[in-house]
Chain A
Amino acid sequence: MGEVTERDLSMAGVSRRVAIKHIDPDRCIRCGVCTLSCPNDVIRMRRGKPTIVYWQDCSQCFACVIDCPREAVSLGWVTVETP
């Protein structure tokens, strides 16, 4: 986790939290179950592929991870620039 504090991050104009991070294209079979499971509507099908659209709304419920038949979804630290 490191010694970086929230204050350091916000001063640098970034925000960091644990959220959905990656859907592994090599493992994903495009079944779309994650788009059904996510209670926060984070994942949508785009051009036939499950796509992380609203990552900021991830509440780390892990429904996508648990329900994925191929362990293709992972959560981790996501860092973004704050407006």
Chain B
Amino acid sequence: MQKLVVIGAGMASGRALEHLIEADPTAYDITLFNAEPRGNYNRIMLSPVLSGEKSFEEIVTHDEDWYAVHGITTRFGEKVVSIDRDRKVVIGENGEVPYDKLVFGTGSSAFIIPCPGHDLPGVVAFRDLEDTTAMSEASATPGARAVVIGGGLLGLEAAAGLRLRGMEVTVLHLAGHLMERQLDPSAGYLLQKDLERRGITVLTEASTKEIYGNGKVEGVRLVDGTDLPADIVVMAVGIRPQVQLAKDSGLAVGRAIHVDAQMVTSDPDIYAVGECVEFEGNVFGLVAPLYDQAKVLAKTLLGQDDTFVVKQLSTKLKVTGCDLFSAGDFADGDTREDIVFRDPARGVYKRLVIEGDKLVGAVMYGDTADSNWFFGLIKDGADIAEMRDTLIFGPAFQGGAQADPLAAVAALPDDAEICGCNGVCKGDIVAAIKAGATDLGAVKATTKASASCGTCTGLVEQVLAVTLGDDFKMPAAQPMCGCTDLTHEDVRRLIKASELKSMPAVWQELGWKTKDGCHVCRPALNFYLLADWPLDYKDDLQSRFINERKHANIQKDGTFSVMPRMWGGITTPDELRAIADAADKYGVPTVKVTGGQRIDLLGVKGEDLPAIWKDLNDAGMVSGQAYSKGLRTVKTCVGTDHCRFGTQDSTGLGIKLEKALWGSWTPHKVKLAVSGCPRNCAEATCKDVGVICVDSGYQVGVAGAAGMDVKETERLADVKTEEEVLDYTRAFIQLYRENAKYLDRPYKWVAKVGLDWVKQQVVEDVANRQALVDRFELSQSIYRKDPWAEHVAREQPRYAPIANLVQEAAE
């Protein structure tokens, strides 16, 4: 009888042995090595073993009896250390075995990030029973904490299992959303929400710096300085095919062991199967293709013909209650078309990608009942032309209703606040409508909802529509852009009311019609999110217009302008010298004094930006934000310092205001001025906020304009001290930040909400004024930073070309 030796008792080799023995039990005399001290088991079920839903005994696929009955010699717990292909022997830790045919089924090992502390006791992977046992033991201590590095399939199954065992679990994921290779951002968002609902903390864009501990793991530190105490750290960042043995034996190995479609390696007597193989450039990490390989290998071993072909794969997550599915290819394409369906109320998201008349990809979350049907259509390349319009509703439903754009409002709970000014909840409004208030005017009169600032008007109308159904005729409102039917005001309200804290959260919960928005809605959403959730939301540079992404004004020829701050219009000879030097050094074609009391360097090349900023930073200057929807300038006059008419220190107050406000993001740009007397040399009466100094104190005016419209400021208040000017100004700007529509200057916004309401919020209600100032300062704790210095330190590569082929060709 021919001698067959198999290295590795894994899922692939186990399946191959079954096929072989079923077809011909007498073909080979078989020896099976396994480094793990046990035989074949269903590795993928380690997840339910970890969560306690299954025992290890339940997942064993081949027990001692099975090996005995089929005459297989087992050498479990023994690693194969080398192979002598000349003598045709396999050398194990306990001795040699000769072979006629040899199978590699060595699988993969977990990839461990080589960060400091990765070898501390308490750092485990999730690959075998030992890892699983280490994790369940760690969870036995009450209050124990786990950090899971990696938010892919394995990491999330580990996290869910540990959480079910009562641990405090944090998942760290490097990408912007979970399972980014299988899911798009919308599905990733829903998954994250589901996991958070189970009490798992998820940190995305979290980069591990080190694991620390004295003799054993005590915690993980991230690159951004976050410190996470931990009793166990699970690394689930990926797998590496185990190919060292094959390499040492001289077999052809690339990313894994090269095989042909019959699973034969570069040596005709040696085969490989499972995760350790590379076939036509593909490596494998899911069992479906491994089972196909196993079938082919068994045939090859019996001298029969069969061919392995790579098929489409689908992914599901084995976490009870998280229904997700992804299959095929869902990248964008010119010839591709997306069909998106969202049901925010049920947390359902489905996306189909169609090319020609075929379905090529599908992602679904929350409702995966039809996933097999869709997967079948993808695999078979079925013609879907006939059902295109109704395809997304699945096999049972061919002619369904559209997603209801009002569903987001319908889903709000009764105690959700609709009118923030008057504290009116949805339940109050619904009650009023049922009691006979069937139009906006009546609701306003009976509940006071939308009777103050009016920005919730759209929302009140939607509550009317949801409650009254067809009896209510919605006034036509201007939607934000083609991606949604909601207005800016609706979106702002809903972001607050439903606590939407990320871009995918908004797209999903508010039923965006596109996958990731457009150039109109993305900058607006980015502002709304950072204004409402300064601590939770991370500013998204890619959703900003180029000027704000690169902190400079783009010119018509693609160059940029650079404008440092000159606080209150004051400069020094040293600053002027540094500006002059920079202009020389970077060949700046135009140096101009602006209308905002500072100096503009125009025509700087994009790639020179970080360098010129660095020079200006070194001379003590920071960005003038001449490009931002944020604080621009505070113009001043010379005031009491020099002027014979000056009544107060207008220059000093201007500088204080600029130092308090710089860096803040606002719906549109904000400009201030402080004049030392009513002669008004700083033109304060046409600014967004303008202060006129008088003998008795300060006159604070707001809502002026001098651009496309010209309008005089309106008096907000007369105050006595500089501190009051600072407080009133910050409160006014925060109110503007929290309520205005993106790209409305303050004068347009005040015209909508009325100066009386603004006064009530900022002047009359003292506690509210303080609360506004506090919220402004909270936001400034994040944003009052020089973006130039930050970009010089962190974002520099963005400014340089990724490659230079001009040089390459010359070489």
The finding on whether chains A and B are genuine partners in a shared complex, rather than unrelated, reads no
Q: Which residues of A contact B (CB under 8 A)?
A: none
Q: Which residues of B contact A (CB under 8 A)?
A: none
